[in-house]
Every structure is written in structure tokens, then in C-alpha cells.
Amino acid sequence: MNNADMTAPTALRFQRTALPGLLSALLLLAGCAGTPPRESRLGARFSQSVAVSPSKRDDVIIMALAQLNTRYRYGGGSPAEGFDCSGLVDYVFRTAADTGLPHSTERIAEISRPVNRANLSPGDLVFFNTLHQRYSHMGIYLGHGRFINAPSTGGVVRIDSLDSHYFATRFDGARTLFSAN
């Protein structure tokens, strides 16, 4: 049935019932990439790069693991409200390393430095192209090919493998916020 075949009441009913569902589905598909860039909750402006002390790597990992099974929530940035991928990363670094980050995968990629996958260390960031867009998803590397992330609506913060078919085919690079020394 097309719009020309609908009566006015039927068209209005369609707009009230189907349209909100379609919009919700599009938001679900947007995932982390759709979260608009914003200043951190600390209100800080971000420079071209961030340098976190390497002594904070263990704290970052412990704080990330403490968020396991927290529900996914688009735009979320705390355990109480749930997390999306960049909200999880911001929360972990803000809490464990006193470093607030933008709530945007793309902006976090911009302020971090590239790392060769072979040189990944726990606490580094891994990025994925999940929506035909660079840096549309991210996680925190744990070591041994595993990372923690907030993957999707209806899910929870979980550990995944870089070698899983889904993530291996979408790997978009690794970056770090940690200083060299």
C-alpha cells in the first residue's frame, strides 16, 4: 500500500505508530558513531592529544572490567544510566586516570596517537568501522587479543576478541592515550 492508497485516518495512524519505530531503529543502527561530540563532563576543552601516565594502565583495566555487564544505552556515560562505546571509554579514563574525554569515537581517535596492532598494550584503544564510517565503534584493549566494549542496544558491556570474524573484518586501527614514558 502506498500513501496515495491510504485514507487520511490511516495515514495519520501510520505516522503515529510506524514512524516512531522506524526512527528508533535508525538510532539503534547509529550506535556510537551517532553520539554528537561534546565536552567532557568535566567541562574541559581538548587539545590535539592527551598524555596519560603509563602508571595508570592497570587502573584503567580494573575500572573497565568493573563495568562488565552494565547495560548498553545510546548516549550513556555512567554505570547508572548505561554506556555506549565512547561513553564507556570516557567514564573509565575519567574515573581511573582523571582524564575526561569527548563523548565521540571520532574525537577520541583525533586526540590519541596511532599504535601498531602488534604493539598494543592493555589500556590502549581499538577502533572499528561498523557503520561504513571510520571510527564508528571502539573498545579498550585488555591484552591477549581481547578488548572490552559496549557493543549495541539490548546488550551489555562485554569482552570480545579482535580475531572474531565480526571485529576482525571491521578493525580500523589502534590508538593510545598513554605517554611514551
* Residue 103 near residue 38, CB atoms below 8 Å: yes
Structural domain containing residue 126: 31-176
Whether the predicted pLDDT of 33 surpasses 70: no
- 149 within domain boundaries: yes
User: Given pLDDT bands bounded at 50, 70 and 90, which one contains residue 1?
Assistant: very low
**Residue 138 is which amino acid?**
M
- 24 within domain boundaries: no
- Residue 12 gets which letter from DSSP? H
Neighbours of 1 (CB within 10 A): 7
Query: CATH number for the domain including 97?
Result: 3.90.1720.10
Q: Indicate which residue of 3, 103, 132, 149 is catalytic.
A: 149
- 75 within domain boundaries: yes
* Percentage of residues of the chain with pLDDT beyond 70: 73
Between 126 and 17, the more confident residue is 126
* Residue 119 near residue 171, CB atoms below 8 Å: no
- Mean of the per-residue pLDDT values of the chain: 83
- 163 within domain boundaries: yes
Report how far residue 69's alpha carbon sits from residue 156's, in angstroms, rounded to the nearest whole number. Answer: 5
What does the pLDDT average to over 8-23? 46
Report how far residue 105's alpha carbon sits from residue 84's, in angstroms, rounded to the nearest whole number. Answer: 10
- 65 within domain boundaries: yes
pTM above 0.85, yes or no: no
Q: Indicate which residue of 3, 85, 116, 165 is catalytic.
A: 85
Q: How many structural domains are present in the chain?
A: 1
Neighbours of 81 (CB within 10 A): 12
Q: Indicate which residue of 3, 116, 129, 137 is catalytic.
A: 137
- 117 within domain boundaries: yes
Q: What is the pLDDT of residue 55?
A: 97
Residue 114 host element (H or E): strand 113-115
32 is catalytic: no
Q: What is the pLDDT of residue 43?
A: 40
Q: What is the pLDDT of residue 180?
A: 86
- 63 within domain boundaries: yes
Give how far Cα 112 sits from Cα of 10, 20, 47, 108, 176, Å. Answer: 52, 37, 10, 6, 5
- 67 within domain boundaries: yes
149 is catalytic: yes
pLDDT digits (tens, 9 = 90+) for 80-139: 999 999 999 999 999 999 999 999 999 999 999 999 999 999 999 999 999 999 999 999
Between 74 and 33, the more confident residue is 74
85 is catalytic: yes
